[in-house]
Amino acid sequence: MTIACIAPAFAQFSSALNESEATAKEAKASQQRVEQLDDQTTALINDYRANLKQLEAATRYNASLNRNIAAQQRQLERLRVDIENVSGLQRAMQPLMEDMLATLGDMIEADLPFDLDNRRDRVARLNKVMGDPNMSAAQRYRLIVEAYQIENEAGRTIGAYEGSIDDGGTLRTGEFLRVGRIALMFKTADDSVLKIWDNDQKAWINLNKSYLPDVRLGLRMAKEQTAPGLLPVPVKAPTSAAAGQ
């Protein structure tokens, strides 16, 4: 009788134990699924946050690009206005440069006739440049200014060069001495002829031979064969306007 009662109780205990084990296994499996879902959720949240940061960076970058584009558009507008102004300036500069070049030519013809061929050639080249479509207005203006600077330099220097003059129908070869723009003198190699240019008469006239040592000294100075120094130069005395009337 006692054994019969124990058997059903053991069976019930075994069944309960089995159910408990099954429940534990199910709970463990559920916990694993929960942990897996939690890991997935954490990964999704991290991805979401990373995407938000990327979106913020992209938004700020696009805003920066838009500012740059706006600045470039403003710069393009300024350049367009500058180009229009330059075009107008070029149209205004053309007659000015033509006048400057004409004045330069007139000045050379009215000046002492030193190094005349080279100076005339310079003006002729500039006249060709004025009609060259490959030269910009800025380049033309720069060349004209350089020509004026060369002429200006001659006014405060001395120079020496070889050449010839027409002395009353006789061609004479010798050396020229230019002292600024106040005197242009000529002498032959044998010192037999000493001349000075008279700009009023537009002719070469005889220079007193007493100036020959000074002319020789001036030639050596111009050739840098001796140190610069004071040089007596024959010049006409100034006359008043009333005396010339």
Say how far apart CA 225 and CA 158 lie, in whole Å.
Answer: 13
- E strand or H helix at 23: helix 2-110
**What is the reported pLDDT for 102?**
95
Fill in the DSSP letter of residue 41: H
Show me where the domains of the chain are located: 92-153, 157-222
Half-sphere exposure of 48 (CA within 13 A, CB side): 6
Q: Average pLDDT, stretch 206-212?
A: 94
Average pLDDT, integer, range 155-164? 92
Checking DSSP bridges between strand 158-167 and strand 170-179, what pairing results, if any?
A: antiparallel
- Indicate if the alpha-carbon torsion angle 110, 196, 152, 142 is positive or negative: positive
Asked if residues 179 and 233 have their Cβ atoms less than 8 Å apart, the reply is: yes
Residue pair 112/199 in contact (Cβ under 8 Å)? The answer is: yes
- Judge whether residue 240 has pLDDT over 60: no
Of 232, 229, 210, 233, the C-alpha closest to 220 is 229
pTM: 0.59
Average pLDDT over residues 169-190: 94
Quick one: residue 168, left, alpha or beta (phi over 0 = left, psi -120 to 50 = alpha)?
A: left
pLDDT of residue 136: 85
Mean pLDDT of 191-199: 94
Q: Which residue has the higher pLDDT, 71 or 103?
A: 103
Give pLDDT tens digits for 125-141. 999 999 888 888 889 99
Tell me which of 36-45, 72-81, 231-240 is least confident. Answer: 231-240
pLDDT of residue 231: 83
DSSP letters of 143-185?
HHHHHHHHHHHHTTSEEEEEEEEEETTEEEEEEEEEETTTEEE
| 175: amino acid identity, one letter | E
One DSSP character per residue, 190-238 reads TS--EEEEETTTTEEEE--GGGHHHHHHHHHHHTTSS---------PPP
**Tokens (6 digits) for 147:** 């020509």
Regarding predicted confidence, which is higher, 9 or 157?
157
Higher pLDDT: 71 or 87? It is 71
Say what the pLDDT of residue 116 is: 92
With bands split at pLDDT 50, 70 and 90, how would you rate the model's confidence at 107?
very high
Residue 92 or 74, more confident = 74
Q: pLDDT grade, residue 235 (50/70/90)?
A: confident
pLDDT over 70 at 13, yes or no: no
Q: What is the pLDDT of the chain when averaged over all its residues?
A: 85
* Pairwise pLDDT comparison (143 vs 242), residue with the higher score: 143
* Span 219-244, average pLDDT: 76
- The count of C-alpha atoms lying within 13 angstroms of the C-alpha of 191, restricted to the half-sphere facing its C-beta, is 10
33-71 burial: b if 16+ Cβ within 10 Å, else e? eeeeeeeeeeeeeeeeeeeeeeeeeeeeeeeeeeeeeee
First vs last Cα of the chain: how many Å apart? Answer: 173
| Amino acid 58: pLDDT | 84
pLDDT at residue number 241:
44
